[in-house]
Each structure stands twice: as structure tokens, then as C-alpha cells.
Amino acid sequence: MDRRTLLQLAVATGVGAALTDAKLAAAATNGRPVIAMLAYPGMFALDLVAPFAVFSSMATHDIQILWKQKGVIPSSGIGIEANATFAECPENVDVIFVPGGGTGTVAAMEDPEILAFVASRAAKARFVTSVCTGSLILASAGLLKGKQATSHWVVRDRLAALGAIPTNRRVVIDGNVITGAGVTAGSDLALTIASVLSNEKLAKAVQLSIEYDPDPPFDAGSPEKAPPDVTKFVESYYGGVTGAFDQAIARRKKALAL
């Protein structure tokens, strides 16, 4: 029995019995609700792959990985395949999800086609979500004004320039907007989304199914915990791309009249 079949059984036999949301109830006759996951060149692969593992294990939604064209998209050294185009994505989706990255994200922040697509689906989505620097794409689309949100710690405070309220938490929920911190926070974000899309028991079943039980060899996963010299090294390493983010943010701030 594969993991997807296991979770389908859980839904059918009681662990997922609280799936009473109207959209899910309608899914039995009208097709399953959609989780729309944006993909784009230069994103961090783990930003998308880790949440995808959670969402696919839920076995309650159709998952579309979306780009302008179908096919393989280069992302931090490996390819991610888009299985649908922007035009093929339904207007009404349960979740719009945006991953982060480095220079690829900078480009996405100023790509009119990406911003228009994200904004259009966010307008009707049940939840608008991102992980890592993906929140800067949401903010660039004008979707985080007055919202608490998080991002990768290196750029988190820069959200303020685009109207958001930077918040130092692993996962931040503000209304129907759910944002996650850097890269590996995607798993935490997706499990949080799973719990609100269905119920806590199913989310816990997914967590156990993928054996998500972090036990890192070092306690250095945030600047509050890492040694100061390590933090300075990482800040220096990202110096070039943060400068590019600053330039893109300045241009988007002007475009959004903030």
C-alpha cells in the first residue's frame, strides 16, 4: 500500500471524517478542489517539493504545478515539471502557493504575467500561501498590504517596504494568508494548511506517513541560534542577491504607490 492509498483509506474510514468543508463536500460530484502551486525558473526546489509531498499525501485535492508552459523548469540545479499552464488553472482554487528562491524570485517579482496570475487566483482562493522569499512575490502582487507575514530571515524585514508586517515566526496566519519562513519551513507550512483544509487528525497522519520528525545535528537553524560568525557568513553569502531584492522592491514599491 503506497502513502497516497493509505491517506485515502484514512479519509474513508474515519481519520479524515471531519472533511466537512462545503468545497470538499461538493468535490464528490464536481471534481476535487485544486491546490495551485506556482513554479518558475530559479526557485528553490525544496520550497515546492516539501509542501508537494504533504499536499499529495492528503489525497483530498488535485495538485497543479503551474508555469507559463508545460515542461521541465530549472530550479536550483534540478528540474521541476509543470503539469499545467497558467491558462489551464481553474479560476477558483482552494490554495494558491508560491515558493521562493534567489535571483529567480527577483525576476518573478517583476514579471507581469506571474503577478497577474497570482493576483487573479488569490482573489478567489480559500487560502493564499507562500514559503521563503515567495512572500515577496505575494507582496509584489499587492496581496500582503497590512498583513502579518514572514519570509527567509535574510529578507524578512524587507516585507515592510511592500506594505506587509514582518513577523518572526515559522508559520504566520493572518486571515486567509498563510506564509512560511525559509525553505524547510515549507513542511510546517503545508502541514498547517492540511490541518485547516481538512482536520488536525489527517494532518497528523500525513506527518507520520512522511515521518516528518526533525532532529538536526546542529541547533543553528535561525540567526537567533546560530553562532554570530556563521550568521555573518550567511549574510555575506547572500549579499549579492539581497541587493537585487532591494532594487526590485524599490521598483515594486513605486509601482504599487506605497
Which residues are known catalytic residues? 132
Residues 197 and 60: beta-carbon distance below 8 Å? yes
Strand boundaries in 54-205, DSSP class E: 62-67, 71-75, 78-82, 84-85, 95-98, 127-131, 148-149, 165-166, 171-174, 177-180
* Crossing angle of helices 239-255 and 228-237, rounded to 10°: 60
How many beta carbons lie within 10 A of that of residue 240, not counting itself?
11
As a whole number of angstroms, the distance between CA 36 and CA 90 comes to 9
**CA nearest 138: which of 79, 189, 87?**
189
Cα distances (Å, whole numbers) of residue 242 to 15, 39, 245 = 44, 21, 5
